[in-house]
Amino acid sequence: MYKNILVPISFDEDRDAAGAIDVARTLAGKEGKITLIHVMEDIPGYAITYVPENYLVESRQAIEAELREMAEGLENGASEVITGHSGRTIVDHAEKEGVDCIVIASHRPGMSNLLLGSTATQVVRHANCAVHVIR
C-alpha cells in the first residue's frame, strides 16, 4: 500500500477521473492519503485580453469546489488547485510533497502521442515515484 498518493484530475470528457480515484482508493488502503490535484494552465499573454474579467477567479472557485466535493468521499482525502504547466507541475508537486504514487488518467491518444497522452507521458518519464496510468 502507498502512503501518499497524488491523483491529477482533468475535467476533459475523455479522462476517467472516477477510475483513477477508485484505483487510488485501492492502493491507499485505509491509512494512505489521497490528494486530488488540478493544474490550471496559464493563459498566454496575447490571449488574456480576450478573457472575461472574472473568468479566472470564477473558474478556479468552481474547480476548487468540485475537487473538494470529490475528495470528501475519500478517507484521508484532500484537494488542491495549482497553476503551471500540467506535466511539469504534477511532477514537481509530487516531489515537493513526498508523494510515493501518482495515479493519472490518460485519454486514448492519436498517432502524435503514440501510447499515452502528453501529460501522462511527461509524468511517467520524469516522476521519481510509482505512476499508474488509467485508460
CATH number at residue 107: 3.40.50.620
Q: In this predicted model, what pLDDT tens digit does every residue of 96-124 receive, in sequence order?
A: 999 999 999 986 555 444 445 689 999 99
Q: In this predicted model, what pLDDT tens digit does every residue of 23-48 receive, in sequence order?
A: 999 999 989 999 999 999 888 888 88
Is the pLDDT at 14 greater than 70? The verdict is no
Reduced to 3 states, what is the DSSP secondary structure of residue 82?
strand
Reduced to 3 states, what is the DSSP secondary structure of residue 121?
helix
Is the pLDDT at 81 greater than 90? The verdict is yes
pLDDT at 118: 83
**Per the structure, how many domains does the chain have?**
1
Is the pLDDT at 60 greater than 90? The verdict is yes
Domain enclosing residue 50, as ranges: 4-134
For the whole model, what pTM was predicted? 0.89
| Residues 68, 81: Cα–Cα separation, whole Å | 10
Find out whether 56 and 48 touch, Cβ atoms under 8 Å.
no
Find out whether 37 and 80 touch, Cβ atoms under 8 Å.
yes
Instruction: Tell me what percent of the residues of the chain surpass a pLDDT of 90.
Output: 65
Nearby residues of 60 by Cβ (< 8 Å), 6 or more positions away? 40, 81
